[in-house]
Structure 1
Amino acid sequence: MDFRKFFKSFLYASQGVVHVVKSEQNFRFHILAAAIVLIASLLSRLSKWEWIIIIMLICGMFVIELVNASIERVVDLTSPELHPLAKQAKDLAAGACLVYAICTVIVGLIIFLPKWSGILF
């Protein structure tokens, strides 16, 4: 195993994360949302399993945004001109982000509403 190549792969991956943070508005929005959810989680005294779910949801959202950004770049590279299939590919990737985001909100409500019910109602 070439450890130099192995550690370089971490450098390349971190460059990808830095790039998406700098270039993608939606990714920055999800960072802000994650910070708010983490603060709410601390204040809500979540169980170990609730924390695991929240962390997995947050990381999953980051991953799907990274995949979406990659798909957009590949589509732009392979089809610089407007093409209906290129648009569909980009829309489908964005749709996956939307579906996952809706899922995270639903799961978040299932976790947080019972903890806040005494405060809110």
Structure 2
Amino acid sequence: MRRLLYSRRKTQTIGVLKSFVYAVDGVAYILRTQRNARIELAIGIAAVALALWLGLSPLEWAVLAITIALVLALEWINTSLELAVSLASPDRHPSAKASKDVAAACVLLGAITSVVVGLLLFGPRLVERFAGT
């Protein structure tokens, strides 16, 4: 019985490790092939640097982290959907185009939201820093 439990745990651990490796492969693929994802990641890193400089509160850090993760996740889901649609429908089809367009619109919505969040988080502090008050 002990050996069976150990064997199951070992198999589960290997499964978790494989899942992690697959996820890292996915991130590497995205960053290697998707220009917009690289741009969004660079903007996220710049936002983190700005947040460090401005000294955001813990709650503001949480909002920033969630916003960055949301934009990246939407971009990555969009890429995944585009790849799947292209595989399923290699020829041009109105439904395939609509599916890709809707996924891209989701990324756009996330990006616009991130700009609003950035203005709310950074705007007042930047004005304060540069206005000298």
TM beyond 0.5: yes
User: What is the one-letter code of the residue matched to 2:30?
Assistant: V
CA distance in 2, matches of 1:117, 1:9: 45
Can you list the C-alpha shifts for 1:48-75, whole angstroms capped at 9, x where unaligned?
A: 0000110111111111111000000000
User: What is the one-letter code of the residue matched to 1:107?
Assistant: V
Is 1:4 the counterpart of 2:14? The answer is: yes
Match of 1:39 among 25, 49, 74: 49
Residue 76 of structure 1, CA deviation: 0.3
Alignment root-mean-square deviation, CA: 1.0
User: What is the one-letter code of the residue matched to 1:99?
Assistant: L
> What is the TM-score with the length of structure 2 in the denominator?
0.87
Can you list the C-alpha shifts for 1:15-63, whole angstroms capped at 9, x where unaligned?
A: 0010000000100001110111111101111000000110111111111
Q: What is aligned with 1:26?
A: 36
CA distance in 2, matches of 1:118, 1:50: 17
Match of 1:101 among 111, 123, 127: 111
CA distance in 2, matches of 1:41, 1:86: 40
Between structure 1 and structure 2, the one with the greater Rg is: 2
Contiguous gaps of at least 5 residues in structure 2:
1-8
> What is the TM-score with the length of structure 1 in the denominator?
0.96
- Number of equivalences: 121
How many percent of aligned residue pairs carry the same amino acid?
33
CA distance in 1, matches of 2:130, 2:103: 36
Q: Structure 1 stretches (4+) deviating beyond 6 angstroms? A: none
User: What is the one-letter code of the residue matched to 1:116?
Assistant: L
Contiguous gaps of at least 5 residues in structure 1:
none
User: What is the one-letter code of the residue matched to 1:3?
Assistant: T
Is 1:82 the counterpart of 2:72? The answer is: no
Q: What is aligned with 2:59?
A: 49
CA distance in 1, matches of 2:88, 2:81: 11
User: What is the one-letter code of the residue matched to 1:27?
Assistant: A
Residue 120 of structure 1, CA deviation: 4.0
